[in-house]
Amino acid sequence: MQADRWQKIETLFHQALEQQPRQRAAFLVAACGTDQELLREVESLLATHQQDGGVLGDTASDLAAEWAKVNQQFSPQPKSSRTEKLKLQQFGPYQVIAKLGKGGMGDVYLAEDTRLRRKVALKLLPIELTTRKEWLRRFELEALAASATNHPNIITIYEIGKTDESHFIAAEYVEGKTLRQMIDAGRLEFSTAMDIAAQVASALSAAHAAGVYHRDIKPENIMVRPDGLAKVLDFGLAKQSKTPSLLTSSSATTVVEILTAPGTVVGTPQYMSPEQARGLAVDYRTDIFSLGVVLYEMLAGRAAFTGDELIEVLASVAHREPESLKKLVPGIPDQLEKIVNRAMLKDREQRFQTASELQLELKNLKQELEIEERLKDRRVTSWIKRLFG
C-alpha cells in the first residue's frame, strides 16, 4: 500500500470518528464513492478502534508514519518482486507453490505442508503490518472466528503461526470452483441452488451457535468441491456476540469477541442486510439475509440489488425490493420463491429467525420436488407403455 493511500485512509478514519455513530455509514459511503476497498479499510480500522477501546485513534498517525517509511524502503523493488520471492520461499513447514488470490487480511497462496505432504491455503499478513499489534489482533481474530466451530461446510484452520518476518494462517485447501464462477457460467438448477444454500445455512447455524456472525456471505466466499460439498470461507469480517447464541451446538468450541460499533458499515454492499447498509447493530439474522441474496442470484443468474454508485446499491438494499423471481426464472416453484423472499425481508423480525429453519425449509422442498419428479417420470413411463405396449 502506498503512503499516500494510507494518508487518505487515516484522514477518513479521523473524519469518521468525528461523526455521530449513526451518521458514519452515510458519511463514509459518500466519501469513498465507488472505492469499496477504501471503504473496507477505513471500516476495518474503525472496528479495531472499537475493539481496543479507542487505542487505535492515538496511534493512527504513527501508523501513517510507518507506512511512509515502509513505502520508501520497498518502493524501489519491482511490483512483482515479493510474489516472485514467495514462489521459492518457505514459511515454517509450508512451501509456497502459487498465489491463489487476495483475502480480507492479506494475500492467499497455495502451499505444501512438507510434514504431512498435503496442500494448504496459506494466508500471509502483509510484512509491513507485522509490527502493529492492532493488525496482528485482527489477523488472529479471523483465524479464531473461523475455528470457532468444527463443521464440514466451514473451512478448517490448521494453525496460526509466524516465522522471523511473517505471520500466517494455514487452512484447508479446497479444490473446486467458487460459487461466483458457477453463477457466471449461468443460472443454477433449482436442486443445485437449494442444496448449496442448505449447506451454507448448516454452516451458519453452527457458527451462530458459537456466537459468530460471518457478515460477508457472498458467492466469492463459498467454494464448491467437485463432489458438491460447499465450504464457507473468509471470516475476515466476522463478528462475535458478547455471549454465544442460545442455540445449542456440540461443534461450538471457541468463543471469540469481535465487536463493531453501531454506525459502522462492514461487508460487501450487494450482499449486506438492510441493517448492515444502515450501519445499525447486527445479529445472526444479517447472515440469513445475505444467504437469501446469494440464493436469489443462483436462481436468477443476476444480482438482487444493483446500482451505478455504491450509495445506490446501499439504498437498494435498504429500501427496494428485487425484481420478482417469477418474472426472471421460468418454472420456479412457488414455495422456492417464497423461501427466498422470506430470507430477504427488510424487517429482520419477519425473516427466518434461525439458519437451521431456513436449512430445513430448503431440504424439505428439495425432497418434495425430487419425489414429484420421480412420480412424473413413472407416470410418463406408464403412459408410454400403455400407448405402445
Instruction: Tell me if residue 139 falls in helix, strand or coil.
Output: helix
Stretch 177-189: mean pLDDT, rounded? 95
Domain count, the chain: 3
- Would the pLDDT of 266 be above 80? no
Convert the pLDDT of each residue in 287-303 to its tens digit.
999 999 999 999 999 99
Stretch 16-35: mean pLDDT, rounded? 74
Q: pLDDT tier at 81 (50, 70, 90 boundaries)?
A: very low
- Would the pLDDT of 205 be above 80? yes
**When comparing pLDDT for 362 and 143, which is higher?**
362
Stretch 68-77: mean pLDDT, rounded? 36
Q: pLDDT tier at 232 (50, 70, 90 boundaries)?
A: very high
Q: What share of the chain is helix, strand, coil (3-state, %, to 5)?
A: 50, 15, 35
Per the domain annotation, does 329 fall within a domain? yes
Handedness of CA 348, 352, 354, 355 (dihedral sign): negative
- The model's pTM is 0.71
Clarify whether residues 181 and 151 are in a common domain: no
Clarify whether residues 109 and 50 are in a common domain: no
Last residue of a domain, one of 107, 139, 172: 172
Answer whether 298's CB lies under 8 Å from 59's CB.
no
Q: pLDDT tier at 108 (50, 70, 90 boundaries)?
A: confident
- Would the pLDDT of 155 be above 80? yes
**When comparing pLDDT for 239 and 76, which is higher?**
239
Stretch 7-32: mean pLDDT, rounded? 74
Last residue of a domain, one of 172, 194, 222: 172
- Would the pLDDT of 80 be above 60? no
- Quick one: pLDDT at residue 166? 80
Answer whether 96's CB lies under 8 Å from 87's CB.
yes
Domain span at residue 42?
3-74
Clarify whether residues 219 and 366 are in a common domain: yes
- Quick one: pLDDT at residue 247? 35
Phi-psi region of 14 (alpha: psi -120 to 50; beta: other; left: phi over 0): alpha
Per the domain annotation, does 384 fall within a domain? no
Q: Which residues contact 95 (CB under 8 A, 6 or more apart)?
A: 111, 112, 114
**When comparing pLDDT for 179 and 101, which is higher?**
179
Convert the pLDDT of each residue in 292-343 to its tens digit.
999 999 999 999 998 887 778 888 998 999 999 999 999 999 999 999 999 9
Last residue of a domain, one of 52, 74, 96: 74
Per-residue b/e over 208-221, b at no fewer than 16 CB within 10 Å? bbbbbbbbbbbbbb
Clarify whether residues 321 and 202 are in a common domain: yes
How far is it, in rounded angstroms, from Cα 153 to Cα 207? 10
**When comparing pLDDT for 163 and 323, which is higher?**
323
Q: pLDDT tier at 243 (50, 70, 90 boundaries)?
A: very low
Tell which residue, 302, 165, 306, 151, has the closest CA to residue 235: 151
| Catalytic residue IDs | 216
Amino acid type, 202:
S
Stretch 348-368: mean pLDDT, rounded? 95
Per the domain annotation, does 294 fall within a domain? yes
Stretch 42-62: mean pLDDT, rounded? 50
- Quick one: pLDDT at residue 86? 54
Q: Which residues contact 166 (CB under 8 A, 6 or more apart)?
A: 91, 124, 125, 127, 130
Per the domain annotation, does 378 fall within a domain? no
Clarify whether residues 12 and 92 are in a common domain: no
Clarify whether residues 225 and 343 are in a common domain: yes
Answer whether 209's CB lies under 8 Å from 217's CB.
no
- Would the pLDDT of 53 be above 80? no
- Would the pLDDT of 265 be above 60? no
Per the domain annotation, does 155 fall within a domain? yes
